[in-house]
Structure 1
């Protein structure tokens, strides 16, 4: 990633304002540096050569204090602005990343590691603090402060300015060479961190299963191995950081020493006056200081730069253009010769499917595993676009629809519904936060939720059985009161007695809605007005 990636300006608008303010503050700091150097050189010269006292120098000393205070104030303002800009940019990037993940949909998400995305959205974006608070302001100063200082030195002593101009490029040259190595190390460190986070999240999610099979200690060893790999990668990057800082500091120190030797020899010979010599000696370190600090801050910001590169990779992923047509979900839905390719096998998930879903009716979908039942629901949700054929709603192609508006009319119960830490009541009301309590209890009754709504559950429904989790998710879908209801195995994991109770309550909940019911339970097919059987897809061996 370049020092200032154009994508950062595109995706985080706060960066533009921050850069503009940084330029203004940097210009002010450059003026303060020149004023400070000139005043200090003049005061020392007047005091030692002309015997000026405090009364004579009071005006100059006051100006020097103002210059020092102004420089310190500008540095403080720059840091405050940098932290505010960092917070704004992180918030904007995080929201864009989350929105992009939602827009990419479940089909894309199934190919990604949740632990890596979580680390990217939290620790990764948070690592941009050092980039904005330290590296980027210093980069702005590097662009013009050394040149302004060198220009003032040239006006005073061309030989010293020439030494500075010749040696200055050596520092960014070494920074580039070091950066090539650092980039590889930081990429390796970030990859090991994401792998550790992903594996640790998987272990936590399946800890109960691991304990029941006596495999928890094996995973402890695996986590320790990954943690050791992460530790070694971190120490390797720190080693490079310390060594590169030593090289840059040494180079800057030697360059200033060359200027000092040149000035000293000519001062002894009388070819250079004291005020000019002092001015040059005071300004020379200031010319190298921005580059030295830039090199030091680069390593602190490298992790954030690596994470930002991955964030931009996600944000740059092309999303099929959505239309603007506003469709009504309580209309006839027709699938005309729909074909959806499968990335995991040679044969398509759906191949030439023709289906009419009448409004206000229950359509059952059956078929063996791999026949495309869940893919059909993904097509209806707009998560998956047909590779051939089209989905027509009341005569209008779904590809031209405003998908956000379309999905707002759908209640969906997927194969693996997500329940969050909190009460059962909060999980049911998740999709309709303003729902009244009686509506939540009515949906829970229709779904035969047999646990107290005030009961607190853990992440992913920890504390509930598989059937109870399923019924809580079903109640959440019923509460939405959406005109189109898509249910994928709603009675999976439910015992026969409870399933019998659901057969009595669901018809009333389905009344007036268009329902697509994916199931392999024969009992549920009795609720359907029509049943569609999907043929099994060929599996490549």
Structure 2
């Protein structure tokens, strides 16, 4: 990773907005540099003329030159305003582009990978990438201006006074040297501060999500100490970065001041002894600050840009990561076709789970996957759904490997009930139709027992739910998910612990509906271990990991 590189080439390759921003910034930098040098030359000429020739001390004599000077100043101001405006637009577009790529990459990952990257992705998208705004609005414009104005000003100084140019060239390299040394220290501190902030935000989000449960158990105050420790760690890291930033600014200001002072002393002494004309001396004195100012500004803005660069590093790590859902081009009709698992293994944290699983999931039958916790039952369902890539072995529908299938058409043939039904903020009706309109809503609600829940809701189907189904109990959320799954006309049903949180009467009703779907020719795969679930099985498949074998 090119953390200390002035410009990360991945940024302009990743976003068209960045490329347009860079072109506009360079153009504005050229205009600003030309106006700065031109105004210095004109101002020096006017002042020298007024001082050396008393006859020209009238406004009409210098009217044209003063008008030129005014125009150059206005051009510089307008160019700087335009550069700031374009920088803000470019920063917003680049942050949006990069955030969108992070979201697409992370959400395209396999479920297990997504769970690991959730906290990093949430921080990068919600807060981290906002740190790129100073990078685009301050650091890069200063960097391009230094690359254009500083050498141009040195060339003009050499044209008027070669000795002053030599003094500038001797003092000038000190600023980049100190910038590199300071940058090496600041980059690591910024990365540490970003890591501390990511951990703190993840803990806070988990705490907020689990706060109702903690309050119910009387443990709401428990995580406070840990949050305080993380907050203190972030504060110490941020203060350490600020100390380096203030000290580095002092050093850069001192070096730049000494450089300009050396030029001023050299020019002043030679003016006294007649070694240089007043016109040339004033031009050099006016241009000397323009040589050091852009580099000094780069050093100052460098610290503000480090948080954004660290966040960009993490964003590109998420974008470039592996373990994405494989996409094929084949299509297949799952209706009436068996699903074959052949020596299926998926590498997990504690070894393969499942490990060497083989089975035939026949249409018209209820197949129940059983096994110990962590054996890989849910992972097997994810492989069948095409969300997880097997390490070894294969899963096929008819003669077509699921890894070769185009995802969208295959997913439309599945109805999957996860361990925790997916519920979004919105109405009950919107959640029931989340994965497509149900063939018979009333029958689906009756089969799952959700019709009783609807009767108790204040606004029925138009009752609004919060995040994760807030407004419903666990059992009611399970019934909603079952209604959505059983009401789907999909030829393949994947049910992970479908009777969890249900009372015996509702469980019996749901199992009867599942059996009826199977008898109608649907391929039904159920993850379960309860005796009533095993009782409806036409086939029981033992799933084992290497640790449980």
Q: Distance in 2 between matches of 1:386 and 1:419?
A: 28
How much does 1:169 deviate? 1.8
After superposing the two structures, state which structure 1 stretch, 28-37 or 476-485, moved more.
Answer: 476-485
What corresponds to 1:67 in structure 2? 72
Q: Distance in 2 between matches of 1:3 and 1:405?
A: 45
What corresponds to 1:296 in structure 2? 300
- The alignment covers a number of residue pairs equal to 535
How much does 1:130 deviate? 0.8
How much does 1:404 deviate? 4.1
CA contact (8 A) 1:331 1:394 kept: no
CA contact (8 A) 1:360 1:515 kept: yes
Q: For the structure 1 residues 479 and 293, does the alpha-carbon distance in structure 2 shift closer, same or farther, using more than 3 Å as the test?
A: farther
How much does 1:479 deviate? 5.5
Q: Distance in 1 between matches of 2:147 and 2:402?
A: 52
What corresponds to 2:328 in structure 1? 323
Q: For the structure 1 residues 523 and 31, does the alpha-carbon distance in structure 2 shift closer, same or farther, using more than 3 Å as the test?
A: same
Q: For the structure 1 residues 370 and 26, does the alpha-carbon distance in structure 2 shift closer, same or farther, using more than 3 Å as the test?
A: same
Q: For the structure 1 residues 421 and 224, does the alpha-carbon distance in structure 2 shift closer, same or farther, using more than 3 Å as the test?
A: farther
After superposing the two structures, state which structure 1 stretch, 160-169 or 273-282, moved more.
Answer: 160-169
CA contact (8 A) 2:354 2:544 kept: no
* Cα displacement string for residues 467-511 of structure 1 (whole angstroms, at most 9, x for unaligned residues): 112222333445654343221111111111222332454556665
What corresponds to 1:401 in structure 2? 405
What corresponds to 2:85 in structure 1? 80
Q: TM-score, normalised by structure 1?
A: 0.92
CA contact (8 A) 2:340 2:396 kept: yes
* Cα displacement string for residues 370-428 of structure 1 (whole angstroms, at most 9, x for unaligned residues): 33211111111222222222122231222222234433433322123333334333333
* Cα displacement string for residues 92-149 of structure 1 (whole angstroms, at most 9, x for unaligned residues): 111111111122121212334x333311211001111111111112122222221111
Find the residue that maps to 2:368 and give its secondary structure.
Answer: strand
CA contact (8 A) 1:365 1:517 kept: yes
What corresponds to 1:491 in structure 2? 499
- Does 1:44 pair with 2:47? yes
What corresponds to 2:527 in structure 1? 518
Find the residue that maps to 2:148 and give its secondary structure.
Answer: helix
Q: Distance in 1 between matches of 2:121 and 2:252?
A: 36
What corresponds to 1:237 in structure 2? 241
How much does 1:234 deviate? 1.4
CA contact (8 A) 1:131 1:304 kept: yes
Q: Distance in 2 between matches of 1:255 and 1:456?
A: 68
After superposing the two structures, state which structure 1 stretch, 295-304 or 49-58, moved more.
Answer: 49-58
CA contact (8 A) 1:429 1:440 kept: no
Alignment partner of 1:460 out of 468, 472, 479: 468
- Matches for 1:80-159 after TM superposition, within 5 Å: 80-112=85-117, 114-159=118-163
What corresponds to 1:349 in structure 2? 353
Runs of 5+ consecutive residues of structure 1 not aligned to the other structure = none
* Cα displacement string for residues 221-272 of structure 1 (whole angstroms, at most 9, x for unaligned residues): 2222221221222122111111111111111111011111111111111111
Q: TM-score, normalised by structure 2?
A: 0.91
Runs of 4+ in 1 over 6 A off after TM superposition: none
CA contact (8 A) 1:485 1:515 kept: yes
Give the alignment's Cα RMSD to 1 decimal: 2.4
What corresponds to 1:263 in structure 2? 267
Q: Distance in 1 between matches of 2:242 and 2:426?
A: 41
* Cα displacement string for residues 451-481 of structure 1 (whole angstroms, at most 9, x for unaligned residues): 4333333322233222112222333445654
Q: For the structure 1 residues 443 and 298, does the alpha-carbon distance in structure 2 shift closer, same or farther, using more than 3 Å as the test?
A: farther
What corresponds to 2:490 in structure 1? 482
Q: For the structure 1 residues 481 and 28, does the alpha-carbon distance in structure 2 shift closer, same or farther, using more than 3 Å as the test?
A: farther
Q: For the structure 1 residues 164 and 368, does the alpha-carbon distance in structure 2 shift closer, same or farther, using more than 3 Å as the test?
A: same
Runs of 5+ consecutive residues of structure 2 not aligned to the other structure = none
Find the residue that maps to 1:364 and give its secondary structure.
Answer: strand
* Cα displacement string for residues 73-100 of structure 1 (whole angstroms, at most 9, x for unaligned residues): 1111111111111111111111111111
Find the residue that maps to 1:314 and give its secondary structure.
Answer: helix
Q: For the structure 1 residues 168 and 361, does the alpha-carbon distance in structure 2 shift closer, same or farther, using more than 3 Å as the test?
A: farther
What corresponds to 1:5 in structure 2? 8
Alignment partner of 1:20 out of 3, 23, 32: 23
